[in-house]
């Protein structure tokens, strides 16, 4: 059909995301690179939505007044955004983000850091699982020699 109409006369192809349509779209985009993939803009939007909080976190954390709580809050905010990324359309991207996030979180997964975060006034919720509360109270008792 594309040959019959002429590939230069086609600007984009709209399709659903069924497996056979997805494969056909990929084959068409390889054979006719001038035909635009409209999902490109959706992909850019997801990337932008993910990178913007990271950029904002970096700018915020460069301040001289930055505390450990600021770092944790930004980490949790970024984790929430990555968690809400589509597991269907962006599975590889999402998994790469999760792997990077987990690597960075391990640096903060220290009982003293978590205790400082828990005791900070910005932590309004105050709810933690019983097991974590026991660990935090043990860490506090150890630090304060109770």
- Show me where the domains of the chain are located: 2-31, 53-143
pLDDT at position 146: 65
What is the reported pTM?
A: 0.55
Banded pLDDT at 110 (limits 50, 70, 90): confident
- CA 18/CA 61 separation, integer angstroms: 43
- CA 85/CA 76 separation, integer angstroms: 15
Q: What is the mean pLDDT of residues 113-140?
A: 78
Of the chain, the percentage scoring pLDDT greater than 70 comes to 82
For 9-65, how does the pLDDT look when each residue is reduced to its tens digit (9 = 90+)?
666 565 556 667 777 777 777 787 766 666 778 888 888 888 898 898 888 888 888
- Does residue 133 register a pLDDT over 70? yes
- CA 127/CA 133 separation, integer angstroms: 9
Main-chain dihedrals φ then ψ at residue 36, nearest 5 degrees: -80, 140
Banded pLDDT at 137 (limits 50, 70, 90): confident
- Mean of the per-residue pLDDT values of the chain: 79
pLDDT at position 14: 56
- CA 22/CA 38 separation, integer angstroms: 13
pLDDT at position 99: 92
């Amino acid at each position: 059909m594309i040959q019959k109409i002429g590939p230069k006369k086609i600007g984009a192809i709209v399709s659903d995301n069924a497996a056979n349509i997805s494969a056909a779209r990929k084959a068409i985009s390889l054979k006719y690179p001038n035909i635009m993939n409209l999902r490109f803009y959706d992909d850019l939007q997801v990337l932008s939505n993910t990178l913007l909080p990271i950029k904002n976190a970096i700018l915020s954390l460069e301040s001289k007044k930055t505390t450990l709580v600021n770092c944790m809050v930004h980490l949790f905010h970024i984790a929430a955004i990555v968690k809400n990324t589509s597991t269907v359309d962006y599975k590889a991207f999402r998994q790469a983000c999760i792997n990077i996030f987990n690597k960075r979180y391990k640096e903060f997964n220290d009982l003293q850091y978590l205790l400082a975060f828990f005791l900070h006034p910005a932590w309004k919720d105050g709810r933690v699982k019983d097991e974590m509360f026991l660990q935090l109270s043990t860490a506090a008792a150890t630090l304060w020699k109770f």
